Structure 1
Amino acid sequence: MKSKKEKKIHSVQSKQNQSQEKAPSFPSQIQNPIHDLYFPFRILFVFIFFLLFQCQSNGDSKEISYFQNKEKTKADIQSKWETLAPSGIKSLTYMVMMGDGDVYQSQIGVSSDAKIERFKIGSITKIFTGIAILQLQESGKLKLDDPASQYLPELKLMKPKQEGYREITIRDLLTHQSGLPSDLANGFFLSPEAKEDEIYRSFRSLPKSLAGLERNEPGKIHSYSNLSFGLLGNIIERASGESIESYFRVHLFDKAGMKHTTLMENLEGSELITGYSGIFWKSKTVRPVIRDLTAGSISTTANDMGLFMKAFFRSKENKGLLTSVSFDEFHKTQIGPVANFEMKLGLPVMKSSYKADGKTVWFYGHSGSLPPFFADLVYDPNTEIVSFVAGNTLGIQTGKLKSTNTEVMKVLWEEKMGLQPEPSLPPMMGKKGTVPGEEGVYISPMGIHEYKKGNPPTLSLMGFDVGLIEKENRYGIDLRVLFGLIKINDPSINEMRVEFETWEGNSIFTLYSKDLPKGVAGIGVKFTPNNRFPDAQFFGTFVTKEPYAIIPKLRLEKDKRGFPLLTIYYALGGMENTVQVPCQWEGDNTLRILGYGRNLGERLTLGSKEGKPFLQYSGGEYVKD
């Protein structure tokens, strides 16, 4: 039996060619998603707990200077992460680079003496997938603007929602604007004991699963899609002639010197750290094994991530993972749908703008979640400053990983550059003064929202009715709990803005803040219920026989506001959460989920088998319970 104990593995400095063996512990001298760009598996309850339980800021924080003071910077960063682990997150690992070519990394919390421990990094895997696609373009095996069907003829078996849609390109897949379903839930999770050959079979079966599915118009809206990145992995295999693990191993991991990183599940010399979940008491969870490998399966260490970033930055000199031309293309703002407004994507990194000394500074990165594992990466390719963190626990503190990692990045940038970059709200879209929305019901990737005019007007967000108060020609949020007696006075909430406008003739709203660019959380689109419903036999709870289903059940009911209401139950990391979405009865045994964005606009088919009603959704079949 491997002994587990509470310990801290304090920061060690890693040189470029330093050994990859586990760093020893030293006596302590050191006392910060899109829908899965930021809301990876729509675990909205984490965000709610974060709002309710995080410490309130008193606004009296003392200004601290970090300029050219590495030891103080490292000490304060360690302190920031220690507030999250081990009390809220069982184990946490982080890595920073201060633009000096060195890697500093640490692990905090429960750890094992037996082996080097890997953490799942979820959708940060997509950065590696994007690099692999660009490598294949460099070698002449594909082009970003090739039709994806050139490598995946199975795409021809999908049915366009309307005739006349253009072909989906590889670039569309990379930038989440393919019009494909966000996820193919059926078969997404595999058995925790799945062997390598079973994982490969499931991964390679993904293109065949497209037959009969419906696709929306490419290029209309950014809609985060794990399915797209699973398909990109199949393109990598077919274009390169190599297995996906072999390709990643040879052309990415080995090239960067990453000895403790894998796309599969097992790797000699290291092990996946145990995951935990729970609000007040933490329980061990099973290992999450997924079919869509290239969407979120990588497990790695903080030190390996440092080596990866160093190799990635060497691309600027044509000595790294990419040529300098491809490195620039990776970070160039890609042409995207106008519906996402201020959202900026590279291939496929998220871009966020900051101001420093009157100039615009761009940070790049990606969040990742494969519950109970969560991770976040943010970096500046110009200064080569990096902050990476990964944790193994799904709980209240999970919601603070990304915001704390952003704080760390700002501290790092100040240490090198002498000033801290500040986010700024995007400019208004040519309007003067706050524009009220149309009263009624809206749908966004965060669920159903009801907007009511009043003094102040209110908007329901994730189960809370928040007041909208005028701020900077927009609406700010006034959040109160316990019958309106207690105001949640937190900077992250005070910085949030709601803006109403019109898009393609629809009344919409966007929710954003200084650290959350406009459009990242999707758009809320107004809809008018038409009081049309399917037969009564289709109302109730439906379950799947899939043993490790990410969506184990669905519930369809009549909403009093006049539309069919679908509740989607997610089983993630040992915990369950739900998302409610409105539907519209289209006839011919079809319901349409309303709205635009992740898991919206998709189709449900109703039918009967052996005298029992069933629903077909996201590639799976659900029988009435």
Structure 2
Amino acid sequence: MGNLLDPAALDAAIENVHRAGMPGLFAEVRDGDQVWRGAAGVADVATGRPVTAGMRHRVGSITKTFTAAAVLQQVESGQIGLDTPISRYLPRLVPKERGDAITVRMLINHTSGLAEYLPYAYPSLKAFPYLPDTGPQSLDDHRHTWFDPTELIEMGVTAPAVGTPGGTPGLYSNTNYLLLAELLEQVTGTTAEQYITRNVIERAGLRDTELPTGPYVDGPHSLLYEAWFGMIDPPRDYSVYNMSWAIPAGSLISTVADLNRFYGMLLAGKIVSPSSLAQMRRTVPVVSQEGKTIDYGLGLYPMEGPGQGIFWGHGGTVWGGGALAMIRADGKRQMAVAVNMQRWNRLDSSGRPQAHPIDDALATLYRVAMYG
């Protein structure tokens, strides 16, 4: 199973994603002690400034693994019960009967039945993302909006339920992770951001990772180009953005090296205990925001390759940027990839994304990175 890294194949695969239309991307792949880092394309299409493998990047929902790990630490210390109703901790945020039926575990694995707040906070997106009448106007309206998390939670809680608590398939919803942040604050007496920074980010020794407080990405970084299914043409830069719409669910800034370090330590039982890790790897079917049914654990999900075992990790997107980080179950092989454009697929007349050469090129890069 130990295919050693093939730098030439990785260089070619990353270059092909750029050739297929991605402005810039960068990655780190590890196999035991071997490390390959690569980058292709530009961080700024106007100046031609190149991307580099060490850039800091908004990594979107990869944040959820950090938040889930923080909650599990509090489960280990007896402050939170994984199968305790959320009403026990946050009676005002989730009304009684519903709060009694939704457990902490259901929030972490998206089986709470709570709706996504995004289409309410960002009305032009509609039922993001697949409706013919979706549009990007809200992205510009809210570039500098400071959202109150309890107001976002209320949007998700008062919206029609998307399932019964504990029922499967669950439906992926950021509302769940905003509630987990409130839960952390309730039991630790500090903000979720401070708790996660101290007990997850710093515990893992991540020097280039942070939950940002302002709209800027500090340090060397790429611009982030949002195409919104071809409706923003040419794609527009959203690298400066107030991320309060997603703090514990999607605001993390990191590097590909830090992401690999984090998942390596997580799977080695150094962030949460082995028994917590076993809980994180118990999956249920969940429908993703792209409408695909995936197996989802507690802030982690598996990807399977032909005869190569299972990889665990998480992907993420923000306006204009995205990332994917995966580690083989035995901890030996890892990859983290960051891209600087999102939603490059145009929609057909029924509002479904059409295939784009970037899709195949990325799939090939992931395959070479994970399986050699």
The normalised TM-score by structure 2 is 0.75
Distance 1:389 1:346, change over 3 A: same
Q: Percent identity?
A: 23
**1:256 is paired with a residue of what secondary structure?**
coil
Instruction: State the shift of 1:84 in Å.
Output: 1.7
Give the one of 190, 199, 219 matched to 1:242.
190
**Matched letter for residue 108 of structure 2:** L
Instruction: State the shift of 1:159 in Å.
Output: 7.8
Q: Counterpart of 1:497? A: none
Structure showing greater Rg = 1
Q: Is the 8 A contact 1:125 1:297 kept in 2?
A: yes
Q: Counterpart of 1:218? A: 165
Q: Is the 8 A contact 1:88 1:396 kept in 2?
A: no
Give the one of 144, 147, 162 matched to 2:85.
147
Instruction: State the shift of 1:334 in Å.
Output: 4.8
**1:192 is paired with a residue of what secondary structure?**
coil
Question: What is the alpha-carbon distance in structure 2 between the residues aligned to residue 307 and residue 333 of structure 1?
Answer: 23
Q: Superposed, which structure 2 residues align to 1:103-182 within 5 Å? A: 103-111=35-43, 117-157=55-95, 167-182=101-116
Give the one of 186, 207, 213 matched to 2:120.
186
Q: Counterpart of 2:225? A: 276
Give the one of 136, 149, 152 matched to 1:203.
149
Question: What is the alpha-carbon distance in structure 2 between the residues aligned to residue 400 and residue 263 of structure 1?
Answer: 33
Q: Counterpart of 1:570? A: none
Instruction: State the shift of 1:82 in Å.
Output: 0.9
Distance 1:375 1:92, change over 3 A: same
**2:260 is paired with a residue of what secondary structure?**
helix
The normalised TM-score by structure 1 is 0.47
Instruction: State the shift of 1:210 in Å.
Output: 5.9
Unmatched runs of 5 consecutive residues or more in structure 1: 1-65, 416-625
Distance 1:224 1:242, change over 3 A: same
Q: Counterpart of 1:47? A: none
**Matched letter for residue 9 of structure 2:** D
**Matched letter for residue 62 of structure 2:** I
Q: Is the 8 A contact 1:154 1:207 kept in 2?
A: no
Give the one of 246, 256, 260 matched to 1:302.
256
Give the one of 11, 14, 17 matched to 1:81.
14
Q: Counterpart of 2:46? A: none
Question: What is the alpha-carbon distance in structure 2 between the residues aligned to residue 156 and residue 281 of structure 1?
Answer: 41
**Matched letter for residue 324 of structure 2:** D
**Matched letter for residue 82 of structure 2:** L
Instruction: State the shift of 1:343 in Å.
Output: 4.5
1:312 to 2:312 alignment: no
**1:185 is paired with a residue of what secondary structure?**
helix
Q: Counterpart of 2:280? A: 330
Deviations 1:107-129 (A, max 9, x none): 33224699964222112211112
Unmatched runs of 5 consecutive residues or more in structure 2: 44-48, 123-138, 347-354
**1:387 is paired with a residue of what secondary structure?**
strand
Distance 1:276 1:269, change over 3 A: closer
Question: What is the alpha-carbon distance in structure 2 between the residues aligned to residue 376 and residue 399 of structure 1?
Answer: 19
Q: Is the 8 A contact 2:203 2:271 kept in 1?
A: yes
**Matched letter for residue 107 of structure 1:** A
Q: Is the 8 A contact 2:25 2:51 kept in 1?
A: no
* Number of residues of Structure 1 aligned to a counterpart in Structure 2: 329
1:344 to 2:295 alignment: yes
Q: Counterpart of 1:508? A: none
**Matched letter for residue 25 of structure 2:** L
**2:121 is paired with a residue of what secondary structure?**
coil
Q: Is the 8 A contact 2:87 2:100 kept in 1?
A: no
Q: Superposed, which structure 2 residues align to 1:419-458 within 5 Å? A: none
Deviations 1:302-333 (A, max 9, x none): 12212212322331xxxx11112212221133
Distance 1:392 1:114, change over 3 A: closer
Question: What is the alpha-carbon distance in structure 2 between the residues aligned to residue 298 and residue 259 of structure 1?
Answer: 13
The structure carrying a bigger helix percent of its residues is 2
**1:182 is paired with a residue of what secondary structure?**
coil
Question: What is the alpha-carbon distance in structure 2 between the residues aligned to residue 402 and residue 325 of structure 1?
Answer: 36
Q: Counterpart of 1:254? A: 202
Instruction: State the shift of 1:137 in Å.
Output: 0.7
**Matched letter for residue 137 of structure 1:** V
Higher alpha-carbon deviation: 167-176 or 370-379: 370-379
Q: Is the 8 A contact 2:264 2:331 kept in 1?
A: no
Question: What is the alpha-carbon distance in structure 1 between the residues aligned to residue 198 and residue 176 of structure 2?
Answer: 23
Deviations 1:161-184 (A, max 9, x none): xxxx96100111111111111335
Question: What is the alpha-carbon distance in structure 2 between the residues aligned to residue 375 and residue 269 of structure 1?
Answer: 18
The structure showing larger relative contact order (alpha-carbon pairs under 8 Å, at least 6 residues apart) is 2
Q: Superposed, which structure 2 residues align to 1:44-63 within 5 Å? A: none
Give the one of 16, 25, 34 matched to 1:92.
25
Q: Is the 8 A contact 1:386 1:409 kept in 2?
A: no
What value does the CA root-mean-square deviation take over the aligned residues? 3.6
Question: What is the alpha-carbon distance in structure 1 between the residues aligned to residue 179 and residue 281 of structure 2?
Answer: 22
Q: Counterpart of 2:352? A: none
The structure carrying a bigger strand percent of its residues is 1
Higher alpha-carbon deviation: 403-412 or 140-149: 403-412
Instruction: State the shift of 1:185 in Å.
Output: 3.1
Q: Is the 8 A contact 1:227 1:292 kept in 2?
A: no
Instruction: State the shift of 1:225 in Å.
Output: 0.8
Distance 1:370 1:401, change over 3 A: farther
1:368 to 2:316 alignment: yes
Instruction: State the shift of 1:67 in Å.
Output: 6.6
Question: What is the alpha-carbon distance in structure 2 between the residues aligned to residue 406 and residue 348 of structure 1?
Answer: 22
Instruction: State the shift of 1:223 in Å.
Output: 1.0
**2:210 is paired with a residue of what secondary structure?**
coil
**1:83 is paired with a residue of what secondary structure?**
helix
**Matched letter for residue 254 of structure 2:** T
Question: What is the alpha-carbon distance in structure 1 between the residues aligned to residue 73 and residue 92 of structure 2?
Answer: 24
